[in-house]
């Protein structure tokens, strides 16, 4: 009698503990895509880029005398918090370079890293 009671209690506890796993779908996430500003090479000024994107992460001059503004955007994904997960796509980094000659945009370069 006691063994039967213990097994019934164990089954009921198991149903309560594992009953919520996989029973419902997560709420859909709303993705808001910020409209990316469009810059025209030869027309856009340095001030326009800074007004649209904010202060750059860094700036420098290259070998041909162009001023280069650097923007770095880093996002940590949920996989970064999984213990012992060493796969890629834990951190996403986007680099953007905007080149200016005499304050006018002359070139744009982008690169992405996933690690």
Per-residue pLDDT of the chain (115 residues; tens, 9 = 90+): 677 777 777 776 666 666 555 555 555 555 555 667 789 999 999 999 999 999 999 999 999 999 999 999 888 877 767 777 666 667 888 999 999 999 999 999 999 887 6
| pTM, entire model | 0.61
Here the tokens at position 22 are 């996989």
Please list, in sequence order, all residues whose beta carbon lies within 8 angstroms of the beta carbon of residue 87, skipping any fewer than 6 positions away: 79
Distance of CA 50 to the CA centre of its chain: 21
Count of structural domains, the chain: 1
Does residue 19 form part of some domain?
A: no
User: What is the domain range of residue 65?
Assistant: 39-115
The angle formed by the CA atoms of residues 71, 72 and 73, to the nearest 5 degrees, is: 120
Does residue 66 form part of some domain?
A: yes
Please list, in sequence order, all residues whose beta carbon lies within 8 angstroms of the beta carbon of residue 105, skipping any fewer than 6 positions away: 39, 40, 41, 42, 43, 44, 45, 46, 49, 98, 99
Does residue 28 form part of some domain?
A: no
């Amino acid at each position: 009698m006691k063994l039967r009671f213990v097994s019934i209690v164990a089954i009921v506890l198991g149903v309560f503990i594992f009953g919520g796993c996989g029973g419902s779908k997560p709420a859909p996430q709303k993705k808001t895509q910020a409209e990316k500003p469009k810059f025209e090479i030869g027309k856009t000024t340095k001030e326009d880029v800074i007004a649209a994107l904010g202060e750059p992460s860094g700036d420098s001059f290259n070998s041909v005398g162009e001023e280069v503004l650097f923007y770095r955007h880093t996002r940590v994904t949920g996989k970064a918090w999984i213990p012992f997960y060493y796969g890629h796509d834990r951190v996403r980094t986007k680099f953007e370079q905007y080149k200016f000659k005499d304050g006018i945009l002359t070139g744009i370069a982008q690169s992405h890293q996933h690690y």
